[in-house]
Each structure stands twice: as structure tokens, then as C-alpha cells.
Amino acid sequence: MRYLDLTLPGAAENLALDEALLEEAESDDSAAETLRLWEPARPMVVLGRSSKIEDEVDLDACRELEIAVLRRVSGGAAVLAGPGCLMYALVLSCRLRPGLRSAGRAHQFVLGAIAAALRPLLPEVVCRGISDMAIGQQKFSGNSLRLKRDHLLYHGTLLYDFPLELIGHCLKAPPRQPEYRSGRSHREFLANLPVPRASICHTLMTAWEAHHLCDDWPQQQTARLVAEKYRQPKWNEHGRRAGC
């Protein structure tokens, strides 16, 4: 598996690159797979593909703090990312791994592999809900996926040194909650993984055997997706109620 350690300058560019890697894999007959790691330079809200902005985001708080609100290509609820939140993206081949065509099995496979790799550093790591990883009852990772014909984009967050109080300031309680959350606020429910960033990166690279460091990435596809989608209000604000 190739390894791409690349954070682009803007929020739109970083979200576009995840999708561009999926597009690139779909157009390539080699069934190549990729692990990408990146970390936003400043806080950003990332909506799920079908998220309703007004139901999940405190827009007034985001405007006050000048936090961009964008939408990703995968499902799930809104997340707040930024410095102290490591982002990862896996592009996996469904031809090499046919079981990934089932969303449930894909969650189990990817999160099971990451959780198992982290347990030597922190034995309390468990998979919870549909797509969370937690330390006991406190979530440190949320994840989502996008399935195409032959490839899967699986990406998520890994909190390790994030100002958790900011999440409750910018995000409302999610409309759908896993049972283990038990109605807790963001601050009560979330936790930072008490592991250094470098150790997390090394663990992910080892878990996915991503030893082929590369600096080649789909620049044209990324630029096109930024222009056509990720900087367009039609994409980022679709479903928004008038006057909000």
C-alpha cells in the first residue's frame, strides 16, 4: 500500500483530495491502495453527505470564530476537526477485499484493524456503535465511508490533542446517537487519545503495511473537485432552510 503524508493549504482542497484519490483508484486497473494522513491547520466543520446544517451546526458560533463549514462525500454526522485531530483516509480495493462491498463489514474490518493496532499502546481501545472507536465509553474517533464500483474510501478522525470544549461550542447534539453515548454532551462523551501523534501515524502505517512513501497525487482531479464541488455553496449548503 502506498503512503501519502500530505496536508493541502485549504479545507476544500483537503476534502477534495480524499475524493480525488478514490476517483483515481476507480480509473486505474492496478487495484492500488492508499493510506493518506493529514491534519487541518485551523478548525473546520465537516458535514456528512446528507447532514442538515441547521440541525447539526451552530452557524452563529462558526461565523464568530471564522470556522469554515464544508461537506464531505461520505455519510455520517458533522465533525469538528483542526490542529490536534489527525485525519486519515484509506482507499481500498473491493476486488482485493470483496467483503468491503458491505458497509457493515467495511466498518468492522477497518476499525477492527486500527483498534487492534492501537491496543499495544492503549489496551482500553474498543470499537463502539456503528463506526466509532473509544477509550472505554469515551469516543476519540468517528468514521465514514463512500463506496464506488471497485473501491472504497474509508476516512475518519483521531483526536489526540484537540480542544474538546470547542466541539460543543460549534456543533449541536447529533440527531442520531449511538446507544453507548447515553445522552452525554460532546465534552462528556469525547476524549483525546493519550498517545503522541508520531506513534499514531506509525501505528496506522504498520497496520496497513503502507511502506511505499509517495509524493505523487491527483492534482488535476483535486483542483477540478475544488472548483466544481467543495467551494460551491450548492454542495456545501444543500438542504439549508431559507433565511438561515
> How far is it, in rounded angstroms, from Cα 79 to Cα 69?
10
Of the candidates 105, 74, 97, the one whose C-alpha atom is nearest the C-alpha of residue 87 is: 74
Of the candidates 224, 181, 199, 177, the one whose C-alpha atom is nearest the C-alpha of residue 122 is: 199
Domains in the chain (CATH in brackets) are 2-236 (3.30.930.10)
pLDDT band for position 32 (50/70/90)?
confident
Of the candidates 221, 226, 215, 203, the one whose C-alpha atom is nearest the C-alpha of residue 6 is: 215
Instruction: Encode pLDDT of 66-89 as tens digits.
Output: 999 999 999 999 999 999 999 999
How far is residue 188 from each of residues 53, 99, 165, measured CA to CA in Å? 23, 35, 10
> How far is it, in rounded angstroms, from Cα 62 to Cα 5?
28
Instruction: Encode pLDDT of 103-157 as tens digits.
Output: 999 999 999 999 999 999 999 999 999 999 999 999 999 999 999 999 999 999 9
Strands 2-5 and 68-71, by their bridges, are unpaired
> How far is it, in rounded angstroms, from Cα 8 to Cα 14?
6
